[in-house]
Structures are given as structure tokens and as C-alpha cells.
Amino acid sequence: MRMPLHERIRRDIEAAILSGELKPGARLPVEHELMRQYACARMTVSKALSALSSVGLIDRRKRAGSFVARPKVHSMVLDIPDLEQEILQRGQIYRYRLLRRQVRLPDHSTAGEAALAGRGQLLLIEGVHFADERPLSFETRLVSLSAVPEMEALSLEGASPGAWLLKHVPWTEAENRIAAVPADQTVARHLNVGTGAACLFVERRTWRGNDGITLVRQHFVGSAYDLIARFGSSKL
């Protein structure tokens, strides 16, 4: 057998929980009992239980014991891959067309802009992502030049600024807002859809540590783009 013992213990208990044999609220055997069952040291049992606790399958309470967790928030993993990669993986041709590029001071009447800029200026980038020469997404992006000074000298022709940022200044925190909105005149023109057409709107802010990196707003052609989110307790 090449599965570590702590892993085997973890799986045994996980299986019992998922099968319903151990129901939410049920008490697990105490560590010393598991040590006896598996004939192992306490650290080994502890490693297995800690792993289950960290994925939220059990709750551990001192003096009381370990219990199967009651179901809680259902958060799940949302993949928002690099648009360029995603289009290429679909076997389509990717192109980014730059519409506007401008360095400016933050608009202090917009709280988000001031926070993003810090003490520096902002780079405003507007463009359209094409898949097989059909517009897929209209994107307006603000980049903090105090966080990413290299970006000011960068030629943006042809390359997706989002892909460049991902590669050079990976974020550590992000927040997304996802909504369905009707296309206004600007969006409709750039995406080549009718005014009022349903668009998927994604607004994303990213940070690296405490520094804001970018704020991006993307309108996707509703009929051409979906987001997929998956969740599994098998994730670590």
C-alpha cells in the first residue's frame, strides 16, 4: 500500500460521512479510540482529522469531541480563466483590438478609483476581445500605475492587457460582481448586438497583498458566453 496512513484514515471517515453512515451532528470516535483502531500515534490521527476540519467536513471542539459538520455556506470554485486562453482552447482565433489608452489621475468623486490609484496615476484601457473575428467582450480597465509602473511603457496593440497582467503581476485577492444587463448604445455598437440585448456583465477588482492592481468591467455577448463554477468537497 502506498497511501499514507493519515490519508487512509481521512478517506475512511470522509466516506462514512458522505454515505450518510455518519450523519450531521454525529460524534466521531475520540482520537485515542482512532489510535487504537488504526494502531498508530496520535499525530497521525490528528493529521487526518485536521484535514477534514480544514475542508469543513467536521467540527472539532475541545472537551466535547469531533462532530460531523452541519452543512454551511455553499461556496464554490469559480474559474474565470484568461479569456485569450479560453478562446484558443475552443479552437477559435483570438484577437484583441485596443480602442483607447490614456493615463490620467483618479476621479476622486469615485471612491474605487482613488483607492486603486494610491498616490499614483491610472492607466485606462478600453478594448474588444474577438473570437473568430466576432466581438465577444467589451472591456474597460483601470490599472494602478503605482502598483504596475511597467505597464505605462507597454505597447498594448494586439495583446490582451488582462493576460499580460496575469502573467506579470498575479493577484492574491479578487472580488467579482456578476450581473445580467441590457446593452447600452456604446456596448451594443462594440459588440455588434442590438441595444437592450442581454449581456453578461463582470466587474472584477484584484489586489496583490494590500495594493489594488486593476479594476475591470467586461460586457459579454449574452448568447455567446457562460461562466462555469464547480464545487466539490474533494478540493483541498
Residues near a copy of itself, by CB under 8 A: 18-19, 24, 43, 54, 70-71, 73-81, 166-167, 170-182, 196-201, 208-209, 220, 222-223, 225-234, 236
Q: Which residues pair with 128 in a beta bridge?
A: 97, 138
In terms of CB distance, is 153 or 228 closer to a copy of itself? 228
Per partner kind, with CB cut-offs from 5 to 8 A, the member of a copy of itself, DNA, none near residue 155 is none
Fill in the per-residue mask, 29 to 48: x = in contact with DNA (CB under 7 A), - = not in contact: -xxx------xxxxxx-xx-
In terms of CB distance, is 101 or 118 closer to a copy of itself? 118
Burial group, residue 208, by CB count within 10 angstroms (0-12, 13-18, 19+): middle
| Among 123, 125, 122, 127, CA closest to 84 | 127
Per partner kind, with CB cut-offs from 5 to 8 A, the member of DNA, a copy of itself, none near residue 7 is DNA
Under 8 Å between Cβ of 235 and 77: yes
Q: Cα–chain-centroid distance for residue 39? A: 41
In terms of CB distance, is 133 or 226 closer to a copy of itself? 226
Q: How far is the CB of 105 from a copy of itself (least distance, A)?
A: 26
What 223-227 contacts at long range (C-beta under 8 Å, 24+ apart), as own/partner pairs, is 223/198, 224/131, 224/134, 224/136, 225/136, 225/137, 225/200, 226/200, 227/78, 227/80, 227/178, 227/200, 227/202
Task: Count other Cβ atoms within 10 Å, centred on residue 182.
Answer: 14
Q: How far is the CB of 112 from DNA (least distance, A)?
A: 37
Residue 70 contacts DNA per CB under 7 A: no
Q: How far is the CB of 208 from a copy of itself (least distance, A)?
A: 7
Under 8 Å between Cβ of 103 and 125: no
In terms of CB distance, is 49 or 199 closer to DNA? 49
Q: How far is the CB of 210 from a copy of itself (least distance, A)?
A: 9
Per partner kind, with CB cut-offs from 5 to 8 A, the member of DNA, a copy of itself, none near residue 10 is none
Residue 66 contacts DNA per CB under 7 A: yes
Residue 13 contacts DNA per CB under 7 A: no
Q: Cα–chain-centroid distance for residue 131? A: 23
Under 8 Å between Cβ of 50 and 31: no
220: its cell numbers: 459579454
Which stretches of the chain bind DNA, using CB under 7 A?
Answer: 2, 4-7, 28, 30-32, 39-44, 46-47, 49-50, 53, 60-66
